[in-house]
Amino acid sequence: MNLLRLTGEHLLIVVVAVSIAIAAGVPLGTFAHRRRGAGGIALRITDAVQTIPSLAMFGFLIPLPFIGGIGARPAIVALVLYSLLPIVRSTLVGLQRVDPHVREAATAMGMTGRQLLMQIELPLATPAIVAGIRIAVVTAIGVATIAAAVGGGGLGTLIFRGVAMVDTRLILSGALPAALLALGADVVLTQVERHFARKRGEA
């Protein structure tokens, strides 16, 4: 089994899924900030999704048409669902933490709601959003190992095969790189987060 290919596959699934989750989650978090009612519902749904055990999630996805079945597609769908919550929530928290006086100053200077959001609120929320992305990526790297159960590929393939063959070395050859990926992603994204925090004048 080609370790490099499986690692690449693993990363690809995670990157695609988290990218989709960012594209959906940041607007959702912004919406949740603007409209408390609808936003609360969106948060509760993503909250509920988060509580589904990952193996059960893949089970649910298998019979579904278009987004389900087996292979990389349901794996990505599951990872998107898991990544949504931390990103939506961190976007919301980041926006809520913007100093109300800063918001008032921007409004009083004649910024439209959109200018306020794009020029002031989202830039100031960036460190929090990156923190959410970090949590999403680390979680997704872990959950992606289970995607192998539905033929999603990635490092989980080695783990499941090792379990079936009672081969500890085979299990570790999948588990160790997966753990290292998660650790590496955490370290790198923590740095990115600090960089933004410094730039935003918080450090």
Partner 1 sequence: MSVEYRDFTVTNRLDRLTLTIPDGERIAYLGRSGAGKTTALKAINGLVRATSGDLLVDGTSIASHDLVQLRRRIGYVMQQPALFPHRTVYENIATVPRLLQWPEDRTRAEVKALLQKLELPDFENRYPRVLSGGEQQRVAIARALIASPRLLLCDEPFSALDPIIRMELQTLLVETASDTTLVFVTHDFREALRIAGRIVFFDAGRVIADAATAAINVQQHPLVRRFREAAS
- Interface ranges with partner 1 (CB under 8 A): 99, 101-102, 104-112, 115, 120, 123-124, 199-202
* Gap between the Cα atoms of 38 and 202, Å rounded: 31
Closer Cβ to partner 1, 101 or 169, answer by number? 101
Residues 50, 37: Cα–Cα separation, whole Å: 20
> Any idea what DSSP says for residue 110?
T
**What residues have CB less than 8 Å from 76, skipping those under 6 apart?**
13, 16, 17, 20, 152
Q: How far apart are CA 115 and CA 120, in angstroms?
A: 8
Rounded to a whole number of angstroms, the minimum distance from the CB of residue 141 to partner 1 is 30
**What Å distances lie between residue 120 and 33, 140, 180, CA to CA?**
14, 30, 36
What is the chain's length? 203
The residue (of 58 and 196) whose beta carbon lies closer to partner 1 is 196
- Least Cβ distance, residue 201 to partner 1 (angstroms): 3
Residue 125 C-beta: closest distance to partner 1, Å: 10
Distance in angstroms (rounded) separating the CA atoms of residues 130 and 194: 9
CB-nearer residue toward partner 1: 114 or 169: 114
CB of 19 to partner 1, least distance (A): 24
Nearer to partner 1, 57 or 120 (CB): 120
111/175 with CB nearer partner 1: 111
Tell me whether residue 56 or residue 109 sits nearer to partner 1 (CB atom): 109
Q: Give the chain's end-to-end CA distance (angstroms, integer).
A: 46
* Minimum distance, C-beta of residue 69 to partner 1, in the bound complex (Å): 45
Residue pair 44/189 in contact by the 8 Å Cβ criterion: no
In whole angstroms, how close is the CB of 54 to partner 1 at the nearest point? 37
